[in-house]
Amino acid sequence: DTEVTQTPKHLVMGMTNKKSLKCEQHMGHRAMYWYKQKAKKPPELMFVYSYEKLSINESVPSRFSPECPNSSLLNLHLHALQPEDSALYLCASSQDFVAQEAFFGQGTRLTVV
Amino acid sequence: AQKVTQAQTEISVVEKEDVTLDCVYETRDTTYYLFWYKQPPSGELVFLIRRNSFDEQNEISGRYSWNFQKSTSSFNFTITASQVVDSAVYFCALVAHYGFGNEKLTFGTGTRLTIIP
């Protein structure tokens, strides 16, 4: 199984809502990532978890809250988002550090209204 | 600081033509890794290749080939006999080794490749 599974695939939420994005992998990878990608732009790193500990936070606003409950799961909790947060949110994993082949999920396309 | 430049924003070629996607990178580190990823319309990024800074050997994988030249800081990607399924956005990316747990994948801006049937 070389898949990274993200749910939901699409999400529309209001600015006062709370929602969560979920990412799952069963490849035994110990590094997991959240990226944000706006249309016609490259992915931008948000967070890196290494061995279930947050190792990088790219100065992401606190309305985005990551969580790594175990080595296979990565969540991104969303609260009080703004319309400019609308984007494709990609999860990825790699064996144990960044300079390795990363496997990406298909992403969650988020629209904030 | 690291930087990856993909000067070609969009390329269109007719099917079966060869096409080369350019990638130029900047880093002060002597140890680094270069990548190419493909992003089809479905959204996920698909890993194509990884090359470390000490291995300048060119690589061929089927219709795909990569030319790594440290002298010009370039890592170009050629598709031979292009097919419609090659239509996608292609990203070149760089990781410079500056400490375990702190490496970051720096992406270029991507090249949108369209293969015309």
| Minimal CA separation from A71 to chain B, in Å | 16
Which has the closest alpha carbon to A8: A101, B89, A19, B80?
Answer: A19
Contact A50, A96 (CB under 8 A): yes
pLDDT means per 10 residues, chain A with 113 residues, are 90 95 95 95 94 92 96 96 97 84 94 96
In chain B, which residue's Cα lies nearest the Cα of A48? B101
Cα dist from A22 to A11, A29, B44, whole Å: 12, 16, 15
Q: Does A50 touch chain B (CB under 8 A)?
A: yes
Contact A15, A112 (CB under 8 A): yes
pLDDT band at residue B104 using 50, 70 and 90 as cut-offs: confident
Q: What is the pLDDT of residue A66?
A: 98
Q: What is the pLDDT of residue B102?
A: 63
| Minimal CA separation from B37 to chain A, in Å | 10
Alpha-carbon distance B117 to B112, whole Å? 16
Q: How far is CA B101 from the centre of its chain?
A: 24
> Which chain B residues are Cβ-neighbours of A94 within 8 angstroms?
none
**In sequence order, what are the beta bridge partners of A22?**
A7, A75
CB contact under 8 A, A99 and B45: no
CB contact under 8 A, B104 and A98: yes
What DSSP string runs through B80-105? SS--GGG-EEEEEEEEE-SSTT----
Q: What is the pLDDT of residue A37?
A: 97
The token duo for B43 is 């959204």
A-B CB pairs within 8 A amount to 58
Is residue B99 predicted with pLDDT exceeding 70? no
Angle among Cα A83, A10, B109 to the nearest 5 degrees reads: 65
Summarize pLDDT for B4-16 with one digit per residue, the tens.
999 999 999 999 9
